[in-house]
Amino acid sequence: MNLSIVIPLLNEEESLGELYSWIERVLTAERLSYEVLFIDDGSTDSSWSIVEALAARDSRVRGVRFRSNYGKSAALYCGFERAEGEVVITMDADLQDSPDEIPSLYRMITEEGYDMVSGWKRRRHDPKSKTLPSKFFNATCRWASGIKLHDFNCGLKAYRQKVVKSIEVYGEMHRYIPILAKKAGFGRIGEKEVTHYARRYGVSKYGWERLLKGYLDLVTVMFVSKYGRSPMYFFGGAGTLMFLVGFVSTLWIVVEKFTLGRPLTNQPLFYLGLVAIMLGVMLFLAGFLGELINRNAPERNHYFIDEEILCK
């Protein structure tokens, strides 16, 4: 199978039929074999009934329905788990992403050798309240990750199947799939400018709270990417440095007391030194506990193997 198209959705009853007809028309013209996976993230309208009707009419349509709203990352995870196509495409269900982009994204993976291609909505049909924070957010992601993408959060992306089978998307981590892919060893990450349409039906499902969650998740994914397998390198290093600073400061104050007769209790540096020593010990113990937890984790020796040659 050439393509798996994963479409998370939440209350998009007006657009689903039109979206699938558009996808069907484009991919039939390209003569590509495909499947479409609709992941209903707890819709309260008739979205699921429409997915059922599409599946009854066309065997290439499959669907998953959540009992509650778990978020876009959970929907993508379930879609990735079930995808069988050589190339996996993700797109939103609100008709703001164009299925006309799918063939060129497919060719960038299969012919140009990219592991992942992210869409770039250069011209967005969204209010300033969404576009301005998005620009700042993307600039921060580029600086923190070193991945030169203009739009990390674009829903229209293409992946080699190996990529989606090697990453785990949870929480709000769908914004950072390029970072997760790079961490998994997939360094050929490309970008394609895509058409972005104004929303015709329904309302946006994202509020201001996503900004705070987004930055907290960015800190998490960057930390885990660098220190996930060796937490002692971070906590132990910081703890050792803090302990040494506190120990030297305290020792200096004690030496001054015996040589110059200065009282210990009148010098704030003495108390700061003691606090630094205690914080250093606590940080070191945190790293030690992290190593113990990591040692007993079932996936501690899980590595991403690209190819293997076996003896005959």
Is residue 163 domain-shared with residue 239, that is, in the same domain? no
Is residue 277 domain-shared with residue 237, that is, in the same domain? yes
Residue 312 domain flag: no
pLDDT in tens, 121-146: 887 766 666 667 677 778 878 887 88
Q: The domain that contains 166 carries what CATH number? A: 3.90.550.10
Q: Is the dihedral of CA 69, 153, 127, 40 positive or negative?
A: negative
Count of structural domains, the chain: 2
Strand order in the sheet with 3-9: 61-65, 34-40, 3-9, 87-90, 157-160, 116-120, 189-193
Helix (H, G, I), strand (E, B) or coil at 36: strand
pLDDT in tens, 39-80: 999 999 999 999 999 999 999 999 999 999 988 989 999 999
Domain around 261 = 231-295
The H-or-E segment that residue 133 falls in is helix 128-145
Distance between CA atoms of 80 and 74, rounded to whole angstroms? 10
What's the whole-model pTM score? 0.76
Residue 40 domain flag: yes
Residue 29 domain flag: yes
Residue 304 domain flag: no
Q: Give me 128's structure tokens.
A: 């300033």
Distance between CA atoms of 97 and 271, rounded to whole angstroms? 59
pLDDT in tens, 144-195: 788 888 888 888 999 999 999 998 887 778 888 998 898 888 989 999 999 8
